[in-house]
Structure 1
Amino acid sequence: MSARPTVAVLDYGSGNVHSAVRALARAGAEVELTQDTEKILNAEGLVVPGVGAFAAVMDALKAIDAPRWIGRRVAGGRPVLGICVGHQILFERGVEHGIAADGMGEWPGEVTALPDDVVVPHMGWNTVRAPEDSVLFEGLQDERFYFVHSYAVQRWDFDQSVEAMHPPQVTWAHHGTDFIAAVENGPLAATQFHPEKSGDAGMALLRNWIKSL
């Protein structure tokens, strides 16, 4: 019997991470909540959770030098999964309550408020539109996932004409406007929704990611 893949969940003070730890363990990983550099770099998978405001999450990540470790993993082809604000900070910039903050810039795009003519936060279950050959959403194209957010990336500005070994795959959802629900880009993947709160569909998505490690 093969060993369970090791997954580090980045511990930088973000709230409500224990549900993600438990869900990843149920999905088949050997999980540790940590901010130890060696474990962050050497685990087969790294999960970056995030709850709260974009700027505050970036500040907390910088306080433990996490952007550097995340960047080293991505550069080395080591899988990383961002969740919720952990998804948002992978883009270039976030603007919340008039405060602009730089993100990690792994992908172009800006996190901005959802339209003011819809109920926010966007809280509850929603469908997504995933690419047919998505790894994360294999077998899950008709499922619903659980969202809690008031901000999102609403445009995809990546130059798809540039040839790449792993061209990004973008999954969309709709709440007043289309917004990016997930991105898969080689070793780097992220979801705006919470797979750990998305019942059987979320567990299947986490299993898909763990199998890809």
Structure 2
Amino acid sequence: MIAIIDYGMGNLRSVQKGFERVGCAAAIVQDPAAVAAAPAVVLPGVGAFADAMENLRKFGMIETIQQVVAAGKPFLGICLGQQLLFESSEEFGHTPGLGIFPGRVRRFPEGQLKVPHMGWNQAVMQKNNPLWEGIPADAAFYFVHSYYVEPADPELILARTDYGLPFASVVGRDKVFGIQFHPEKSSNLGLRILQNFGKLVKS
């Protein structure tokens, strides 16, 4: 059973339904002990970075997430969940993140682009990874975000997307992944990514 962390941020049910459509059992979980016991964990999210970190702290999830990652379990951050994996965000000043990956979260340049970045865009694969099995190297997915991750280690970048500037739309190391787009809103290819993540649970 994949645990989808409920910390009061995001469209949890749509993520759960996406997993169900590809035959992966997933439960929305608010208890840290249940998250820690799960064989795989998903951190979705929409909204403000600082609010999300405060809610994770309030629900006792920060140490739990770090324990799950340290245990080598499959872990997937979606949209804001991807951003939270990094050390800090410049949203509303400076807010520390989970620090799973080195790097920061930045806002798209003011006045140069329409923000938020919203709609379909390509995520161009940079290196082979298990999430991309059966997916074209330049597949398109659905994005809604005003901030993007800037990894300090380029080896973390699994796919890039261009929106005025190239940014890391998929990151990962070992079995920990972050994706900026919404797979649950990205038709069959998005569902394939959820299915590929589900396969990691069995491997």
Q: TM-score, normalised by structure 1?
A: 0.89
Alignment partner, residue 142 of structure 2:
146
Instruction: Decide whether the 8 Å contact of 2:88 with 2:103 is kept in 1.
Output: yes
Aligned: 1:111 with 2:105: yes
AA aligned to 2:99 is G
2-structure distance, mates of 1:169, 1:121: 22
Identity of aligned residues (%): 38
Give the ranges of 4+ consecutive aligned residues of structure 1 lying more than 4 Å apart after TM superposition.
none
Which is helix-richer, 1 or 2?
2
Q: Which moved more, 1:62-71 or 1:36-45?
A: 36-45
Q: Which runs of 5+ in 2 are unaligned?
A: none
Residue among 178, 197, 200 paired with 1:209 = 197
AA aligned to 1:109 is G
Write the deviation string for residues 148-174 of structure 1: whole angstroms up to 9, x where unpaired.
Answer: 000112x332275xxxxxxx4531111
Residue among 107, 118, 121 paired with 2:116 = 121
Map 1:21-40; keep pairs closer than 5 Å. Answer: 21-40=16-35
Alignment partner, residue 164 of structure 1:
none
Instruction: Give the CA RMSD over aligned residues.
Output: 1.4
Instruction: Decide whether the 8 Å contact of 2:125 with 2:138 is kept in 1.
Output: no
AA aligned to 1:73 is V
Equivalent pairs counted in the alignment come to: 199
Aligned: 1:191 with 2:182: no
2-structure distance, mates of 1:30, 1:205: 15
Map 1:91-106; keep pairs closer than 5 Å. Answer: 91-97=86-92, 99-106=93-100
Map 1:131-142; keep pairs closer than 5 Å. Answer: 131-140=126-135, 141-142=137-138
SS of 1:136's equivalent in the other structure is helix
Residue among 46, 68, 84 paired with 1:73 = 68
1-structure distance, mates of 2:68, 2:141: 27
2-structure distance, mates of 1:170, 1:42: 28
- 1:122 to partner: Cα distance: 0.3
